[in-house]
């Protein structure tokens, strides 16, 4: 059976400079096994499947798969899926406000001057990292423990442990070994740069360390940490993907109610249909 399909580049306004996500629209009837098999075949960091909502407050439902597992939430697939749904004729019930249903619950999405943005979900786990565990994580990155300025759990689904280094230059210099955690690095750029922070994201896969080009979930959780501790003020722009030849830009803002919003450009690079 054929399904409408989009491959969307996220956190960029220039095609092939952000992080791609594969989106299968009108995915009713597909089995869990079929979804996982297709996600494994695309070999992208995430592939999503759009379904009718089960919650009356949602405009659509999405299931998010990596090549090996299903995720309750992920950032760049949220924006890429919303882009594809709108492009395919989706109409939000509440005008400009779009509500996505996923395994983590309902996620609010809105149009912003910097592109689509989602409201950062609450953290599942936060707080300091145990010293022994932090030393281990630093060692897997081939980092001296003393190079880590601060570290916290920043888990909003994927399970990130976030490490603050002294500078963006230090972040870009990291050459990781074999990691066994989902690890995010953040370091400040000098004043006057086009981004306030540089981020990198690493995770283990099939006995290797993979670097994710631009990571919405990590940026969302790191923003909550940096803003809460006074290390950043909103709005700000984060850069990610530099080490991979990408040019991701993530726009962080906070509204009057205290919600943190994560926004960026979205561009369709492939449009058509797939046989599933």
Q: Which residues are catalytic?
A: 46
Give me 158's structure tokens: 């994927």
Q: Phi and psi dihedrals of 34, rounded to 5?
A: -65, -40
CB of 49 within 8 A of CB of 79? no
CB of 141 within 8 A of CB of 135? no
Measured CA to CA, the distance from residue 72 to residue 76 in angstroms comes to: 13
236-240 and 197-205 beta bridge pairing:
parallel
Structure-token match 């919405």, residue found: 216
Q: Where are the beta strands (DSSP E) in the chain?
A: 2-10, 19-24, 47-51, 60-65, 70-71, 98-102, 105-112, 115-119, 148-154, 160-165, 183-188, 197-205, 208-212, 236-240, 248-254, 260-264, 266-275
CB atoms within 10 A of CB 89: 8
| End-to-end alpha carbon distance in the chain | 5
CB of 173 within 8 A of CB of 165? no
């Amino acid at each position: 059976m054929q399904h409408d399909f989009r491959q969307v580049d996220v956190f960029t306004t220039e095609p092939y400079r952000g992080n791609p996500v594969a989106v299968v629209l009108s995915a009713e009837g597909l089995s869990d096994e079929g979804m996982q098999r297709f996600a494994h075949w695309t070999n992208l960091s995430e592939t999503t499947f759009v379904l009718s909502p089960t919650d009356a407050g949602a405009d659509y439902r999405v299931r998010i798969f990596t090549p090996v597992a299903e995720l309750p939430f992920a950032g760049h697939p949220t924006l890429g899926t919303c882009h594809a749904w709108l492009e395919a004729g989706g109409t939000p019930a509440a005008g400009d406000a779009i509500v996505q249903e996923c395994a983590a619950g309902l996620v609010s999405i809105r149009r912003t001057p910097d592109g689509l943005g989602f409201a950062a979900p609450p953290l599942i786990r936060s707080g300091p990292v145990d010293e022994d565990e932090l030393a281990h994580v630093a060692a897997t990155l081939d980092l001296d423990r003393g190079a880590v300025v601060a570290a916290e759990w920043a888990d909003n689904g994927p399970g990130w442990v976030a490490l603050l280094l002294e500078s963006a230059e230090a972040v870009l210099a990291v050459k990781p070994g074999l990691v066994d955690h989902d690890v995010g690095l953040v370091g400040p750029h000098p004043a006057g740069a086009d981004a306030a922070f540089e981020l990198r994201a690493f995770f283990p896969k099939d006995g290797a360390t993979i670097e994710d080009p631009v990571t919405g979930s990590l940026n969302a959780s790191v923003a909550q940490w940096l803003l809460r501790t006074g290390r950043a003020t909103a709005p700000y722009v984060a850069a990610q993907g530099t080490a991979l030849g990408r040019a991701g830009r993530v726009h962080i803002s906070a509204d009057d109610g205290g919600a943190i919003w994560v926004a960026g450009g979205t561009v369709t690079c492939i449009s058509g249909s797939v046989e599933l």
